[in-house]
Amino acid sequence: MKLNKLYYLIVPFLMASCSSISTPIKNESKFLNFITLGVSKEQIIEQYGTPLSIGVSENTEILYYSEKLKDFIVTTEFIFENKKLKEKKVSKIENSYQSDFRKIYSLLEDIEKKGK
């Protein structure tokens, strides 16, 4: 019963906080016109900033960048082999509302666990 009351108090607040008044809506990826292969990891970081995440294997390194475009979150990978850019690709496109609802659901689960 406590969860129901909290749900009705928290969800409207969280939904209102998801509005886009604080950030402008981008229509075009910052990586759209990037076509230069063979550049170094340092050049990519200098141009686009610190990546969201970095993946590493024996001779391969992947920089992951995420950006919000309209109602979607787009993840772009820059794949380096032997320290040179070999490939750039979009690895994931996710509706941003799905991400918001997952966060809300996780928060409600945490509240429920603390209440027990």
Q: Hey, what domains does the chain have and what are their CATH numbers?
A: 2-16+25-115 (3.30.1450.10)
**Across 96-105, average pLDDT:** 67
Burial (Cβ within 10 Å: 0-12, 13-18, ≥19) of residue 78? buried
Calculate the average pLDDT of the chain: 77
Beta bridge partner(s), residue 87: 79
In angstroms, how far is the first alpha carbon of the chain from the final one? 12
Look at phi and psi of residue 39 and say left if phi exceeds 0, alpha if psi is from -120 to 50, else beta: beta
Q: What is the DSSP letter of 50?
A: S
Q: Token pair of 46, please?
A: 């200098």
Q: Which of 15-39 are b and which e, b meaning 16 or more Cβ less than 10 Å from the residue's Cβ?
A: eeeeeeeeeeeeeeeebeebeeeee
**Across 91-115, average pLDDT:** 72
Question: Who wins on pLDDT, 27 or 20?
Answer: 27
Answer yes or no: is pLDDT of 27 > 80. no
Question: Who wins on pLDDT, 96 or 107?
Answer: 107
